[in-house]
């Protein structure tokens, strides 16, 4: 066979049938959890001004420096596909004056994101996340509540054994002191650092903490830790978050190297890990970003949020054997025999669908055997058969596809009968 000319781009997947169903099921479960906790829906565009991501996510982060899908549009504007949700949502919060709403303003979203990364299992160039942001609440209870929201979602989708790691990155009062200690330490060990991390050290030293390079990780094991440099307010805040989690008996680990891949975080950061091995085991994470709204031109507004990667969660569920079998609703197949039955069958499919009964059928095909075979392959629960005799007598044959039992019903009773059998209310 000739090679197909067009194929999906590297790192971009088609989801067809069951995987597509699993993805949309995860999203609806998440929506239910977020809405119950008082989050309202927001949808922002896939494309934004490139400057928005450079300013917020940070020019030296991988997500912007290496992975941004950027192009110049027909008016010579540099635009980029969103690599994450927070920047766009903060822009919208400012643009639409959401600071005048009763605070906190709690928003959730889901959808596709784009990063020009090296594709591998659990890492794609187009991937999906669910995401929440809570604006206008500085108290540690808000941090704890976004964390428990994630836990509730995992529980609802029956994803067990997810571990939670936490750290605090401090704020402008204490971060400079930590940064200096880190730079001093890393400079002392500069020769042992991986090449790329020597560059990061010069440009954006906190990014070194995020390094995946083995040589750098070895140096980092002895590096100064943010938690030892927190100012009193940041210490109190972090202790407050832990108090709520402890009170609920939620397990977590403190990870002094956790900085997350984006520049805008302050104070609390957290990440969730599944049980699968390797770098792709992070299911998602988030944290506080109390300076970002102001950085993008809004009023100073504390905020905290998180994002979870849905492809990773599906892999984790599959590894766990916890992917629920798709719930297939009861369905009927309408089979017709001969020209006089054609219109009756077409009409009946429409009446069934209007009546809330899931129905398919091919009215233009001949051969009742072939039609029933197709019904069987589709796994429907019933077939309705209409032949010339049935048209004449204004009846239909209802066939139970599991037992093979058949009965004759008046044509005008079949919709109500199937509604009852399928429990359509
Ligand atoms: P981040 O926005 O980088 O903190 O990512 C949050 C979560 O999104 C990660 O923990 C992953 O689960 C998921 N994620 C990030 N990048 C990718 C990617 N390239 N492919 C698939 N999932 C991703």
Mean pLDDT on 291-304: 96
Q: Which CATH number does the domain housing residue 118 bear?
A: 3.30.930.10
Ligand 1 lined by 284 (C-beta under 6 Å): yes
> Is the pLDDT score of 3 beyond 90?
no
Last-in-domain residue among 300, 320, 340 = 320
Range of the domain at 411: 331-422
Asked whether residue 417 is domain-assigned, the answer is: yes
- Taken in order 122, 127, 131, 133, the sign of the CA dihedral is positive
Distance CA 341, CA 191 (A): 83
Rounded to the nearest 10 degrees, the angle between the axes of helix 140-156 and helix 18-36 is 140
Percent of the residues in the chain that have a pLDDT greater than 90, as a whole number: 80
Lowest-confidence region among 44-48, 81-85, 125-129, 340-344: 340-344
Q: Do 236 and 136 reside in the same domain of the chain? A: yes
Burial of 274 (0-12, 13-18, 19+ CB in 10 A): buried
Distance CA 306, CA 130 (A): 8
Residue 382 sits in the same domain as residue 408: yes
Domain boundary at 257, 289, 320, which? 320
* Pair (304, 413) in one structural domain: no
Same domain as 121, residue 79 = yes
Model pLDDT, residue 366: 66
What mean pLDDT comes out for the span 45-52? 98
* Pocket residue to mutate for ligand 1, from 307, 311, 313, most atoms within 8 A of Cβ: 307
Determine the atom of ligand 1 nearest the C-alpha atom of 84. Answer: 2
**Which residue's CA lies nearest to atom 6 of ligand 1?**
284
Phi-psi category of 410—alpha, beta or left, where left has phi over 0 and alpha has psi -120 to 50? beta
Alpha-carbon Rg for the chain in angstroms = 28
Kindly state the average pLDDT of the residues 334-355.
Answer: 93
Q: What is the pLDDT of residue 279?
A: 60
Decide: 84 in ligand 1 pocket, CB within 6 A: yes
Report if residue 94 sits inside a domain: yes
Confidence check: pLDDT of 238 > 90:
yes
Residue 212 in domain: no
Mean pLDDT of 319-340: 83
Report pLDDT for 143.
Answer: 98
| pTM for this predicted structure | 0.89
- Checking if the pLDDT of 192 tops 70, the result is yes
Q: Are residues 111 and 33 located together in one domain of the fold?
A: yes
Write out pLDDT tens, residues 404-425.
Answer: 999 999 999 999 999 999 999 8
- E-strand stretches of 6-125: 40-41, 47-49, 70-72, 78-81, 105-114
Q: In what order do the strands lie in the sheet with 78-81?
A: 47-49, 78-81, 70-72
Residues 418 and 376 in one domain: yes
Measured in angstroms, how far is the CA atom of residue 24 from the centroid of ligand 1? 18
The pLDDT assigned to 369 comes to 87
Q: What is the pLDDT of residue 1?
A: 63
CATH of residue 372: 3.40.50.800
Do 84 and 127 sit in the same domain of this protein?
A: yes
Judge whether 7 lies within some domain: no
Nearest Cα neighbor of 301 from 31, 111, 107, 166 is 107
Query: Which tens digit of pLDDT belongs to each residue from 93-131?
Result: 999 999 999 999 999 999 999 999 999 989 999 999 999
Q: Indicate which residue's Cα is closest to atom 3 of ligand 1.
A: 261
> Is 41 inside any structural domain?
yes
Same domain, 265 and 376: no
40 and 139, same domain (yes or no): yes
Domain count, the chain: 2
Structure confidence by residue, pLDDT tens digits, 361-403: 977 766 888 888 889 998 999 999 999 999 999 999 999 999 9
Average pLDDT over residues 281-304: 96
Instruction: Measure the CA–CA gap between 376 and 381, rounded to whole angstroms.
Output: 9
pLDDT tier at 257 (50, 70, 90 boundaries)? confident
CA 289, chain centre distance (Å): 20
Query: Which atom of ligand 1 is nearest the CA belonging to 115?
Result: 19
State mean pLDDT over 208-233. Answer: 93
Would you state the torsion angle of the CA atoms of residues 324, 83, 172, 167, taken in this order, to the nearest 10 degrees? 30
For residues 286 and 367, membership in a common domain is answered with no
* Average pLDDT value for residue range 245-269: 91
Question: Mean pLDDT of all residues in the chain?
Answer: 93
Residue 312 beta carbon below 6 angstroms from any ligand 1 atom: yes
């Amino acid at each position: 066979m000739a090679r197909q000319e067009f194929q999906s781009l590297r790192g971009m997947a088609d989801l067809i049938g069951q995987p597509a169903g699993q993805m949309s099921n995860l999203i609806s479960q998440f929506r239910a959890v977020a809405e119950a906790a008082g989050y309202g829906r927001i949808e922002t565009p896939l494309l934004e001004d490139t400057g928005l991501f450079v300013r917020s996510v940070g020019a030296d982060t991988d997500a912007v420096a290496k992975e941004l899908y950027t192009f110049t549009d027909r008016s010579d504007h540099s635009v980029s596909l969103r690599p994450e949700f927070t920047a766009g949502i903060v822009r919208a919060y400012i643009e639409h004056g959401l600071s005048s709403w009763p605070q906190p303003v709690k928003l959730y979203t889901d959808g596709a994101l784009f990063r020009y990364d090296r594709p591998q299992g659990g890492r794609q160039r187009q991937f999906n996340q669910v995401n929440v942001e809570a604006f206008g609440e500085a108290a540690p209870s808000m941090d704890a509540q976004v964390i428990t929201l994630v836990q509730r979602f995992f529980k609802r989708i029956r994803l067990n054994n997810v571990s939670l790691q936490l750290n605090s990155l401090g704020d402008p009062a204490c971060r400079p002191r930590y940064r200096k200690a880190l730079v001093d330490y890393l400079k002392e060990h500069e020769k042992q650092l991986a090449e790329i991390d020597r560059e990061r050290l010069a440009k954006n030293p906190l990014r070194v903490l995020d390094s995946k390079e083995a040589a750098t990780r070895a140096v980092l094991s002895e590096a100064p830790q943010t938690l030892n440099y927190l100012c009193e307010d940041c210490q109190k805040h972090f202790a407050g978050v832990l108090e709520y989690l402890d009170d609920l008996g939620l397990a977590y680990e403190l990870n002094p190297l956790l900085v997350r891949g984006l520049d805008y975080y302050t104070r609390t950061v957290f990440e969730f890990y599944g049980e699968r091995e390797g770098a792709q085991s992070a299911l998602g994470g988030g944290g506080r970003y109390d300076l970002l709204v102001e950085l993008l031109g809004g009023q100073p507004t504390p905020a905290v949020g998180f994002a979870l990667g849905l492809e990773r969660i599906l892999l984790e569920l599959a590894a766990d054997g916890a992917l629920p079998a798709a719930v297939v609703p009861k369905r009927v197949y309408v089979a017709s025999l001969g020209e006089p039955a054609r219109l009756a069958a077409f009409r009946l499919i429409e009446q069934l669908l209007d009546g809330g009964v899931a129905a398919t059928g091919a009215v233009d095909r001949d051969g009742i055997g072939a039609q029933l075979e197709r019904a069987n392959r589709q796994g429907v629960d019933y077939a309705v058969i209409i032949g010339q005799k049935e048209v004449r007598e204004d009846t239909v044959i209802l066939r139970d596809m599991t037992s093979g039992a058949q009965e004759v019903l008046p044509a005008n009773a079949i919709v109500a009968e199937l509604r009852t059998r399928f429990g359509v209310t």
